[in-house]
Amino acid sequence: MSLGDNGIDITKNIKIIEWLKSELLSSIASLFEVLVKGIKGSQESIVDILANIIMVAYVLGRRLGISYNSLDMRIEEKIRLGVLEQHKVESWFGDLSSLKKHMDGNRN
């Protein structure tokens, strides 16, 4: 019994989703490991790990049928809501306003 091209695509998609989930967990574990050791001198490693987490999240979303634009819009919506509701990272440090400015600047 042959699965045909459609069956192969579904299998490949399931495999890549599982791999992406594993990659995400691995990256988070790596981040925790670096943070436990201390961030002094680890800035480049932290940047690399965080970039990987963000990239994997986007690709995982795409594999699950979520467009990059939908993800971007939801992130922007969460930032706006966090600013309005004065989330702790916003009220204490202004991080969400700073992130909003960064994202708005990248669009121009």
pLDDT in tens, 25-79: 999 999 999 999 887 878 999 999 999 999 999 999 999 999 999 999 999 999 9
pLDDT in tens, 89-100: 999 999 999 999
Rounded distance between C-alpha atoms, residue 75 and residue 19, angstroms:
24
Does the pLDDT at position 15 exceed 70? yes
pLDDT band at 3 (very low <50, low <70, confident <90, very high): low
Does the pLDDT at position 1 exceed 90? no
With beta carbons less than 8 A apart as the criterion, state whether 19 and 60 touch. no
Domain chopping of the chain, boundaries: 1-66, 67-108
Q: Please, which residues have CB within 8 angstroms of residue 3's CB and are 6 or more apart in sequence?
A: 11
Rounded distance between C-alpha atoms, residue 96 and residue 83, angstroms:
6
Q: Please, which residues have CB within 8 angstroms of residue 16's CB and are 6 or more apart in sequence?
A: 63
Residue type for 22, please? S
Rounded distance between C-alpha atoms, residue 61 and residue 36, angstroms:
29
Does the pLDDT at position 108 exceed 70? no
